[in-house]
Structure 1
Amino acid sequence: MLWEVEIRTRPEGLDREAQGVLAQCRALGLSSIRQVHSARSFLVQGAVDRPAAERLARGLLADEVVETFQVRALPLSHNVAPPADGPVLNVLLKPGVTDNVAATVLPALRDAGYAVDAVRTCQKFWFNADADPAELNRVASKVIANDAIQQVLTGPLPLADLALGSSYSFRRVVVPLAGMTDEALVRLSREGQLYLSLREMQTIQQYFRAQGREPTDAELETVAQTWSEHCSHKTLRGRVHYRDESREIQFESLLKETVFAATAQIRERLGQDDWCVSVFRDNAGIVRFDETHNVCMKVETHNHPSALEPYGGANTGLGGVIRDPMGTGLGARPVCNTDVFCFAPPDVPDRNLPPGVLHPRVVIRGVVSGVRDYGNRMGIPTVNGAVFFDERYLGNPLVYCGNVAMIPVGLETKHVSPGDHIVAVGGRTGRDGIHGATFSSAELTHESESLSGGAVFIDTAITEKMVLDVILQARDRQLFTAITDCGAGGFSSAVGEMGEETGAEVWLEKAPLKYAGLSYTEIWISEAQERMVLSVAPENWSEFERLCRAEGVEATIIGQFTETKRLVLKYQGQEVGNLAMEFLHEGRPPVVRSAEYTPPPEIPC
């Protein structure tokens, strides 16, 4: 049975959600919209009759001091509307997008003794009956929903079942790369959301020609993730020919010959006074603090996802830089956050927005609340920050997040040994977060919102806090020898990086899933934000698993590290990927750029 528990503010109270929507409608000049009412709904499915549905609504979901509720069976042939009868818009997260509120409510209902199978949440908005349909469409797309992660249903809810996904029937997919023309390679890169250059696609084509076979979809995605801007920093590591009025310089690796080289020179000069402990080789940098602890620091931008879905993108941005210190050395304890935000001015006229671009007010509100909420829910304060406004940030804001963490002296290094278990710890994998790494290499267009919405992951800070607590305990018990985070690229980036010097074999069907129906490639590349990957020796597995179980954190063996120097992927015993680690990490052709500086003309005094 599927029930809707619809909850509204009492008539004598203030419907603040509706007031906010109405204010935004007026700011957009939507003059036909004069009245808005709102409600929030829980969709509850299970062996629950009407009396039980009313009890759970009264006891767990609604606050009857300030709210009223109605319980109705779905599907409906009509919606009961407030006195200002009019059209209703229902806003739900798209299937597969993490619903954090529902994920919290479901176990609470089960703990209370209700036989509930699934829960989803919904926001509902009613408008005055004579509202212009065209203006309602603008409200749906610009005010109450973001197409990257949400869908809007008009009228009665048509849902009869909350089931997500269906059983997956294994099919090994091979990509016919060998005979593709350059034009076809470019099209595959763009339409497949690989976002690789023609030269990179040609390099992959040549590699598999030499192997005498075609790549699987998982192999192609693995290379794309590893060679993405996010994972390889290929622009900074590229070749640059620089020229100005007095000289020419050829950089074979821009980053190595500038920032890297300068850092090495400074450290050498400092000698015994060098305060750097670990730089340019782990998820975050480490510097000296005192006799017992070192300081671990990481800052990173998260611009593209924040342009599409500001709240989720900023959530992911801060969550990612918190996980980086957690995955540095043998694990650092995050203590505070910092940020810098660069936005377009909030008073930009709506008519000046390019197609597919969110209004700066929407971006500002989402980014600020996204960073604030994630840090607060983990108990990590934001101690400083800055905001800058410039019209050039209209298409793509700059969302710069940072974290400071503490790590005991002596725990700055890690190692992987052949035979160790590959262990996934934390959240489960779903389709949200697909192509998170390759999306960083894409150019934002008016199609980005619909095409790349899956690249935005909806984080669960509480899960990450639980994972952090478990990791720090396991670290102090010396139960693992290496750790990294599953950021953009998911298992693809985490396991690929950890096993670079040894090799790895992954059993993809072992990975815990949020719902059925994911293919082996989706499991491999999905961005699992609250998940870490650890190297655990077989003799430590039982104790490690007991610790995780005691803390309510899921830990699963998904493979083992090998000594083959190859990355082997299997699904139900069938090989779906087999790549040389050397090609994966060293085979990318360098990015080649030219830079020329012309000084501005001198202006006479």
Structure 2
Amino acid sequence: KKVQVGDWIVAIGGRTGRDGIHGATFSSAELTSESESVSGGAVQIGNAITEKMLMDVLLQARDRGLYSAVTDCGAGGFSSAVGEMGEEIGAEVWLDKAPLKYDGLSYTEIWISEAQERMVLSVPDEHWPEFEQLCRSEGVEATIIGRFEPTGRLQLKYHDQIVADLSMQFLHDGRPPVVREAFYEPRPETPLSCPSTNAPGGEVASDHAATLHRILGSLNVASKEWVIRQYDHEVQGGSVVKPLVGVANDGPSDAAVVRPVLNSRQGLVVSCGMNPRFGDFDTYHMAASAIDEAVRNCVAVGADPTRIAILDNFCWGYTDRPETLGSLVRAALACHDLAVELGTPFISGKDSLNNEFSYFDANGDKQTISIPPSLLISALGQIDDVGRCVTMDLKSPGNMLYQVGATKPELGGSHYAFVHGLTGGHVPQVDAGLAKRTFAAVHAAIQSGSVRACHDLSEGGLAVALAEMAFAGGYGAEVDLAVAPLTDLSLDNVPADVVALFAESNTRFLCEVPEEQQAAFEQAMHEVPYSCIGRVIEQPTLRIRGVATPNQDLIVADLASLKESWQAPLRW
């Protein structure tokens, strides 16, 4: 929809205050010891109740066709919202009409405040009475603060005095484009090894059970139940697949599924993907892996891979440095490539650049801490029938366990390398064509009802995924790695057992399939790598046999101890 000439400029939702002024500027500036006192007012003050009422009004007004266009007051507040909406027409804004939280704001503060829970709408004159009544009925404040006029100019007034008058063309196109220098050189590939001993990475640890416990207890893998329970995710009763699942509702779900309309069977899937450690090797593969993980988490609970949209959240260091900007550009290239090849459009996103903190040490020398390049990808998927959702916890003894997707010796940036202090190795990469076929195959199998449980393989690899599925469901598993799909073992001098257990290759799933559904499941997988690697057992034990020695147990661990290792670090 587009703004129409003569539409009212309407502000709805929260009132305008000094909170959030220059919030966008502050969030992309270097932090110092003075930031709290100097920029404290840049922090917005949220109000979830106002936000919910605002959303209710927007949805109803949308369905009734009461507005022509809408923009949220994000960075820049009214200045960006009205400026963007009026680009092709022009706008006249009456800043003294804006509802304020308190007296004393200047017209400049009103114009650039980033106070939360505010939206700007373009409302045709004939719809204003109905729109105003709708807002009043929902307890949402709505105020006309101007009009879209065909002047081609942005004109601001304060108590009938013109305080700004700019050409829209100048505002949007008058500034010369910024040209920056960027370069990027990926880190040379080196074998996985231990810096202190120069030992090959695969020879550092032979006790794979101990390694599994250490990875389960690492902070990026350990249970986040303490955090999740801080917020009520059962509000309105629309949750279908919750953040925590399993027999005790404490297993790590791949994604959450909600039913926004309670009398509908349609579901909305929300998932994420992120692994900054991969960025130490190549930010292109870090970004590609984050997209792959977010999408496969969506698919793992039943989302249709052809109806998934994604969002980006870039957190980066000081981008005036050519090498830092180069790493950002390379990540953005991966976002473009994967979005196009997977058919998953970016519908929104944000960035927080220049994430650095500077201070003076005891010698008076300036020191700077920069965050690592980090990209969080969020995915939004759809499910036509929430009754077909699956969760990650094991369901029934005797069912077969299938690994879908091939494992490669990709241990660069892995949690195996992290817990053992290893460097080097090959960072996981994404084969977009194979990923697209794999997502389609897994979705088809879930839709056909041949999958009882599904879990993606990510942090910690197959070993961690097996452990999580087992202790979430309360059943054990017996697995034989000799039949696991492994490829390209010659890439690195790492034992096949380590690769099969802990490599973090992309586009992999672990599926629980009833024996009577074996043929249907394998038919769905006929175009992608897969293998039946084991079964669910009644005993609460995880038993994994090796690749080179199929009759030798690499890991024998009771589920209670594995779960304790996973839950203990953040049990606050």
TM-based fold match above 0.5:
yes
Cα 1:332–1:260 change in 2 (3 A) is farther
Compute the displacement of 1:191 (Å): 10
Q: Which residue of 2 aligns with 1:420?
A: 399
Cα 1:216–1:583 change in 2 (3 A) is farther
Compute the displacement of 1:516 (Å): 4.3
Cα 1:296–1:466 change in 2 (3 A) is same
Aligned positions of 1:349-498 closer than 5 A = 359-392=323-356, 394-407=370-383, 408-414=385-391, 415-426=394-405, 428-433=406-411, 436-438=414-416, 451-454=422-425, 456-498=427-469
Cα 1:543–1:453 change in 2 (3 A) is same
SS of alignment partner, residue 512 of structure 2: strand
Cα deviation, 1:276-301, whole Å, max 9, x if unaligned, reads 33332111111113413110102343
CA distance in 1, matches of 2:426, 2:297: 19
Q: Which residue of 1 aligns with 2:298?
A: 325
Compute the displacement of 1:144 (Å): 7.2
Q: Which residue of 2 aligns with 1:147?
A: 187
Cα deviation, 1:121-149, whole Å, max 9, x if unaligned, reads xxxxxxxxxxxxxxxxxxxxx96752354
Compute the displacement of 1:382 (Å): 0.8
Do the aligned residues in 2 keep the contact of 1:311 with 1:369 (CA within 8 Å)? yes
SS of alignment partner, residue 525 of structure 2: helix
Q: Which residue of 2 aligns with 1:514?
A: 487
Q: Which residue of 1 aligns with 2:502?
A: 525
Aligned positions of 1:184-223 closer than 5 A = 216-223=206-213
Do the aligned residues in 1 keep the contact of 2:215 with 2:419 (CA within 8 Å)? no
SS of alignment partner, residue 214 of structure 2: helix
SS of alignment partner, residue 487 of structure 2: coil
The residue identity in structure 2 corresponding to 1:422 is L
Q: Does 1:274 align with 2:237?
A: yes
1:559 corresponds, among 525, 531, 534, to 534
SS of alignment partner, residue 320 of structure 2: coil
Compute the displacement of 1:383 (Å): 0.9
Compute the displacement of 1:217 (Å): 2.6
CA distance in 2, matches of 1:516, 1:456: 14
CA distance in 1, matches of 2:381, 2:567: 35
Do the aligned residues in 2 keep the contact of 1:299 with 1:400 (CA within 8 Å)? yes
SS of alignment partner, residue 469 of structure 1: helix
The residue identity in structure 1 corresponding to 2:427 is V
SS of alignment partner, residue 506 of structure 1: strand
Q: Which residue of 2 aligns with 1:79?
A: none
CA distance in 1, matches of 2:518, 2:563: 29
Do the aligned residues in 2 keep the contact of 1:491 with 1:525 (CA within 8 Å)? yes
Do the aligned residues in 1 keep the contact of 2:283 with 2:330 (CA within 8 Å)? yes
Unpaired segments ≥5 residues, structure 2: 1-181, 245-252, 357-368
Q: Choose 360-369 or 302-311, whichever is displaced more.
A: 302-311
Do the aligned residues in 2 keep the contact of 1:275 with 1:287 (CA within 8 Å)? yes
Q: Which residue of 2 aligns with 1:228?
A: 218
CA distance in 2, matches of 1:592, 1:488: 17
Compute the displacement of 1:580 (Å): 0.8
Compute the displacement of 1:228 (Å): 2.2
Cα 1:474–1:301 change in 2 (3 A) is closer
The residue identity in structure 1 corresponding to 2:231 is A
The residue identity in structure 1 corresponding to 2:215 is Q
Cα 1:554–1:413 change in 2 (3 A) is closer
Q: Does 1:578 align with 2:556?
A: yes
Do the aligned residues in 2 keep the contact of 1:435 with 1:526 (CA within 8 Å)? no
Do the aligned residues in 2 keep the contact of 1:225 with 1:492 (CA within 8 Å)? no
The residue identity in structure 2 corresponding to 1:558 is I
SS of alignment partner, residue 220 of structure 2: helix
SS of alignment partner, residue 476 of structure 1: helix
SS of alignment partner, residue 431 of structure 1: coil
1:548 corresponds, among 518, 525, 529, to 525
Cα 1:313–1:476 change in 2 (3 A) is same
Do the aligned residues in 2 keep the contact of 1:434 with 1:522 (CA within 8 Å)? no
Do the aligned residues in 1 keep the contact of 2:274 with 2:293 (CA within 8 Å)? no
Aligned positions of 1:8-407 closer than 5 A = 145-149=185-189, 216-233=206-223, 253=226, 255=227, 259-263=228-232, 267=234, 270=235, 273-281=236-244, 282-290=253-261, 291-328=264-301, 330-333=302-305, 334-348=307-321, 359-392=323-356, 394-407=370-383
Q: Choose 556-565 or 290-299, whichever is displaced more.
A: 290-299
CA distance in 2, matches of 1:150, 1:375: 30
Q: Which residue of 1 aligns with 2:516?
A: 539
The residue identity in structure 2 corresponding to 1:369 is L
Compute the displacement of 1:456 (Å): 2.6
Compute the displacement of 1:219 (Å): 1.3
Compute the displacement of 1:194 (Å): 13
Q: Which residue of 1 aligns with 2:53?
A: none
The residue identity in structure 2 corresponding to 1:416 is K
Cα 1:324–1:507 change in 2 (3 A) is same
Which 4+ residue blocks in structure 1 deviate beyond 6 angstroms? Answer: 190-195
The residue identity in structure 1 corresponding to 2:218 is S
CA distance in 2, matches of 1:439, 1:300: 20
CA distance in 2, matches of 1:373, 1:223: 37
Cα 1:284–1:563 change in 2 (3 A) is same
Q: Sequence identity, in percent?
A: 19
The TM-score, its normalising length taken from structure 1, stands at 0.53
SS of alignment partner, residue 254 of structure 2: coil
Unpaired segments ≥5 residues, structure 1: 1-141, 152-186, 196-214, 238-252, 351-358, 443-447, 595-605
Do the aligned residues in 1 keep the contact of 2:300 with 2:390 (CA within 8 Å)? no
SS of alignment partner, residue 520 of structure 1: helix
RMSD: 3.3
Compute the displacement of 1:413 (Å): 4.1
CA distance in 1, matches of 2:300, 2:427: 21
SS of alignment partner, residue 454 of structure 1: coil
Do the aligned residues in 2 keep the contact of 1:305 with 1:455 (CA within 8 Å)? no
Cα deviation, 1:386-430, whole Å, max 9, x if unaligned, reads 22221517341231211001122212344521111110112x222
Q: How many residues align?
A: 352
Cα deviation, 1:409-465, whole Å, max 9, x if unaligned, reads 212344521111110112x222113562356779xxxxx9xx544373111121111
Do the aligned residues in 2 keep the contact of 1:337 with 1:382 (CA within 8 Å)? yes
